Amino acid sequence: MESLSDHYNALSREIASSGARLVAVTKTHPVEKIRELYELGHRDFGENRVSELVEKYEQLPKDINWHFIGHLQRNKAKHVIPLVSLIHSGDSLRLLRELDKRSDDSRTDVLLQYHIAEEESKYGLTRETGRQLMESVREEPLHHVRIVGVMGMATYTENEEQVAEEFRTLHEIYAELKAAYFEEDPAFTEISMGMSNDYPIALKQGSTLVRIGSRLLGERPQ
């Protein structure tokens, strides 16, 4: 049976060879599992629940780069800001304004989350609402929030061409935003797409951050 070390090394090499970074999604996994990956040199970990993020942050080394990857309610923004290096789920102007207000003198890096899947249950901006958001930010700039890229989740389906097309759409949105709003901004570089079931497709479509849980750590404990 392949050890976590062997599995992690193979997966991280595969992802790095495509120029991307691995975010290990550790929701519901115990801190011991995170420590094991930490000891292997990994630093990017993703959580999608605020309470679990806070609990793990307090128990683990402070040089971990925490990524918040779940839907973020505005009333919980203040709890997340001091803990994370990147918020993947910037899905509304109201949330960005709240993050900006709560960040004080710190800087909060955020990805704009786009809805690219068939499932209506997923959160995210459309091309049009994303454009409206950016026009609002252009008129009234954010002072502490820095938009550094985009994020999206593909439809959960075995149709690989559909998944590839959805990821191509996100890459196109990234390119449109870069040309229209971030041409002079060297920080706008990230395309967060791809999870355990579809990350190889995402890598081919230009992902810079893949969010992998079960493929790396096994099924989540309930």
Q: What is the pLDDT of residue 50?
A: 98
Q: What is the pLDDT of residue 222?
A: 67
Q: What is the pLDDT of residue 167?
A: 98
The CA distances from residue 88 to 1, 40, 44, 128, in Å, are: 34, 24, 13, 19
Could you tell me if 154 and 193 are in contact, meaning their C-beta atoms sit under 8 angstroms apart? yes
pLDDT grade, residue 32 (50/70/90)? Answer: very high
Q: Where does the chain have alpha helices with state H?
A: 4-16, 31-39, 50-59, 77-80, 93-102, 127-139, 160-181, 199-204, 214-217
Least confident of 21-25, 40-44, 168-172, 216-220: 216-220
The 10s digit of each residue's pLDDT in 210-219 is 999 999 998 8
Q: What is the pLDDT of residue 138?
A: 98
- What superfamily in CATH does domain 4-217 come from? Alanine racemase (3.20.20.10)
For residues 47-67, average pLDDT: 98
Residue 1 has pLDDT above 70, yes or no: no
Look up tokens 């997340």; give the residue: 80
Q: What is the pLDDT of residue 120?
A: 77
For the chain, the average pLDDT equals: 96
pLDDT grade, residue 164 (50/70/90)? Answer: very high
The 10s digit of each residue's pLDDT in 89-135 is 999 999 999 999 999 888 999 999 999 999 876 689 999 999 999 99
Q: Give Cα 14 distance to the centre of its chain.
A: 19
CA atoms within 13 A on the CB side of 134: 23
Look up tokens 């929030």; give the residue: 145
Residue 221 has pLDDT above 80, yes or no: no
Q: Which residues pair with 108 in a beta bridge?
A: 145
User: What does the domain layout of the chain look like in residue ranges?
Assistant: 4-217
Percent of the chain at pLDDT > 90 equals 92
